[in-house]
């Protein structure tokens, strides 16, 4: 019986991974339903009845920004250990990591936990057949609320992480990214990096305390895309959160505020000696928050500057005209706080200084002058034309829905996205970049350069 369930469920889930949300884009809007449960969880639902499956993402304000520098890595480690076992509760036996894996395989469902800079997330994918979904809900609820955090597993995994960290120090891309992050963010939690010392300070008790402090219904934002009605979705969310401690959200103390990323006061150049066939260069500064009203102008402008691949200015000036790098790009990483603006390239060690100087000039000129009308129109055509590919499967739509939920974006965000992009002017792009970027104060990290 179990093998039949597994075969049926696995086949459906594989089909669903590439499933089209709606076969034709003839509809006028993506209807997002939103409500807040009595327990405090904020729920966002898009009904997608084409396939009998559901994708769920539960987000909590428990990312690495909630962790002190001396325990950097705690959020990620807590997420990792959540898959290593659940405790015995209410007459149900404990499950170790092998038993958990077998249980999910028997259901043909998928469940996982992860942590980023801002949020701690659980994801569930299951068929919506009532018996299967009910079993998946109950197993996920145990894993969300009752992880066992087995001490022997943590001791084993800590040694593995230490070995991985030592190996990472030998990779130039890791070294330059780490130095760049620390320089851009300074003392802000976005710049905290896991180290041998921080791993040594993390205990099972720390994971338990972190989980108890932040994984609560009051702080949950739940995004759902699938073949469920609002009533069914509400029941599912209640079941997923049922084993967590319940309480009065109004009476609960608010989470402590996290300071904003401090702007850079001056330019900084960091050179890291490294024996490498290629020099790695990262240049940038703190950028903007995800809910910033300049988002559309900055998205379009960055496409012109360095996000558009071979049609970007950085590629034209650094690669095509001068042959200083095979690839060069720029991007923003907005979050709850000002994520970094980054220009990245690789070049021959003896060309690092020249390539960096050209990239810096391109950025400074773009901030001063903005794009041309032709460049802006080409960027609009590309982004608007590619928009359907951002929402053409349940999983992609779920990512967009959780973005709306997490960043408090309007419910019609997806419906108005192309119109908002189409209306951005050259002047608005120029003004937005002038507000956000200061080329004369950027951090530049060069790893593996040689003197010329």
Give residue-wise pLDDT tens across range 254-282.
999 999 999 999 999 999 999 989 999 99
**In whole angstroms, what is the distance from residue 380 CA to residue 97 CA?**
48
* Secondary structure E strands in 247-405: 268-272, 279-286, 328-332, 340-347
3-class secondary-structure state, position 118: coil
Pairing of strands 120-127, 53-60: antiparallel
Give, as one character, the DSSP assignment of residue 192: -
Ordered structural domains, the chain, with CATH: 2-241 (3.30.830.10), 268-447 (3.30.830.10)
Q: What are the φ/ψ torsions at residue 241 (nearest 5 degrees)?
A: -100, 0
**In whole angstroms, what is the distance from residue 38 CA to residue 336 CA?**
26
Token representation of residue 411: 């419910």
Q: Quote the pLDDT of residue 8.
A: 56
**In whole angstroms, what is the distance from residue 403 CA to residue 416 CA?**
15
**In whole angstroms, what is the distance from residue 289 CA to residue 303 CA?**
18
Q: Quote the pLDDT of residue 18.
A: 47
pTM of the full predicted structure? 0.92
DSSP letters, 276-328, are -SSEEEEEEEE---TT-TTHHHHHHHHIIIIISGGGSHHIIIIIITT---S-E
> Average pLDDT of the chain?
93
Q: Quote the pLDDT of residue 125.
A: 98
Q: Are the C-beta atoms of residues 421 and 379 closer than 8 Å to each other?
A: no
**In whole angstroms, what is the distance from residue 114 CA to residue 80 CA?**
7
pLDDT in tens, 75-115: 999 999 999 999 999 889 999 999 999 999 999 999 999 99
The parts of the chain modelled with pLDDT lower than 50 are 1, 16-27
**In whole angstroms, what is the distance from residue 210 CA to residue 67 CA?**
9
Q: Are the C-beta atoms of residues 175 and 271 closer than 8 Å to each other?
A: no
Q: Quote the pLDDT of residue 29.
A: 83
**In whole angstroms, what is the distance from residue 310 CA to residue 320 CA?**
9
Q: Quote the pLDDT of residue 449.
A: 82
């Amino acid at each position: 019986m179990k093998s039949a369930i597994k075969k049926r469920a696995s086949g459906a889930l594989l089909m669903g991974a590439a499933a089209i949300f709606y076969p034709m884009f003839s509809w006028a809007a993506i209807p997002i339903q939103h409500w807040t449960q009595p327990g405090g969880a904020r729920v966002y639902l898009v009904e997608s009845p084409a396939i009998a499956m559901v994708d769920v993402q539960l987000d909590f304000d428990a990312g690495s920004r909630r962790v002190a520098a001396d325990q950097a890595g705690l959020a990620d480690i807590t997420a990792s250990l959540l898959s290593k076992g659940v405790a015995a509760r209410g007459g149900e036996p404990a499950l170790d990591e092998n038993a958990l894996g077998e249980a999910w395989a028997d259901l043909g469902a998928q469940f996982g936990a992860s942590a980023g800079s801002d949020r701690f997330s659980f994801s569930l994918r299951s068929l919506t057949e009532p018996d299967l979904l009910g079993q998946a809900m109950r197993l996920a609820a145990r894993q969300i609320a009752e992880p066992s955090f087995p001490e022997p597993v943590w001791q084993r995994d800590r040694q593995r992480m230490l070995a991985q960290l030592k190996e990472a120090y030998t990779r130039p891309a890791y070294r330059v990214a780490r130095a760049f992050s620390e320089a851009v963010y300074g003392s802000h939690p976005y710049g905290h990096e896991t180290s041998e010392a921080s791993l040594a300070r993390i205990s099972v008790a720390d994971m338990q305390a972190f989980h108890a402090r932040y994984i609560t219904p009051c702080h949950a934002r739940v995004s759902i895309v699938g073949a469920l009605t609002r009533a069914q979705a509400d029941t599912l969310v209640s079941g997923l959160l049922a084993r967590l401690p319940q309480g009065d959200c109004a009476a609960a103390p608010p989470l402590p505020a996290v300071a904003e990323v401090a702007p850079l006061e001056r330019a900084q150049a960091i050179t890291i000696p490294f024996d490498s066939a290629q020099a790695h260069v990262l240049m940038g500064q703190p950028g903007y928050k995800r809910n910033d009203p300049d988002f559309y102008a900055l998205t379009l402008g960055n496409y012109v500057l360095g996000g558009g691949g071979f049609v970007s200015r950085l590629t034209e000036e650094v690669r095509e005209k001068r042959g200083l790098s095979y690839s060069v790009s720029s991007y923003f990483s907005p979050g709850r706080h000002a994520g970094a603006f980054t220009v990245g390239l690789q070049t021959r060690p003896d060309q690092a200084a020249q390539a960096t100087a050209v990239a810096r000039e391109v950025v400074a000129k773009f901030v001063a002058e903005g794009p041309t009308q032709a460049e802006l129109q080409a960027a609009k055509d590309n982004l608007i034309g590619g928009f359907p590919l951002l929402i053409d499967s349940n999983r992609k739509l779920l990512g967009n829905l959780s973005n709306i939920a997490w960043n408090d974006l309007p419910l019609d965000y997806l419906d108005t996205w192309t119109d908002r992009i189409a209306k951005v002017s050259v002047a608005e792009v120029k003004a937005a970049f002038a507000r956000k970027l200061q080329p004369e104060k950027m951090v530049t990290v060069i790893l593996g350069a040689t003197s010329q």
